[in-house]
Amino acid sequence: MLPAHLRSLSGADREVRLEVPGEPTQALVLDALEARYPMLRGTIRDPKTRRRRAFVRFFACQQDLSHDDPDKPLPGEVAEGAEPFLVVGAMAGG
């Protein structure tokens, strides 16, 4: 699932279904997302380091996965399509 500003940029629906080779990981899901929507390259991850941008968070199965290793397998419920992998724009300020 994508936040509104990334949906506007990409023209994607709120929920995007992706096929990834092998066991899904954050890196593979984001690779597939950026391949389908090239205009998103550099918005979620730094294009050189491929690290998550500071004001982007990842969630699945009610867990914050933002600081997980990007090559760690996602929860089985995400792989099966029962639960979404959420890309969320973080908020800051006071």
Q: How far apart are CA 5 and CA 11, in angstroms?
A: 10
Instruction: Calculate mean pLDDT across residues 3-17.
Output: 90
List helix spans (H) across 1-94: 4-10, 26-36, 76-79
Average pLDDT over residues 74-83: 94
The pLDDT mean for the chain works out to 92
Beta-strand ranges (E) seen in the chain are 56-60, 63-64, 86-89
Q: How far is CA 65 from CA 8, 36, 68, 94, in A?
A: 24, 22, 5, 24
Residues 18 and 22: their CA atoms lie apart, in Å, by 12
Mean pLDDT of the 11-25 span: 91
Mean pLDDT calculated for residue range 71-94: 89
The confidence score (pLDDT) of residue 73 equals 97
Q: What is the pLDDT of residue 93?
A: 65
State the pLDDT at residue 63: 96
Confidence of residue 86 (pLDDT cuts 50, 70, 90): very high
Average pLDDT over residues 71-89: 94
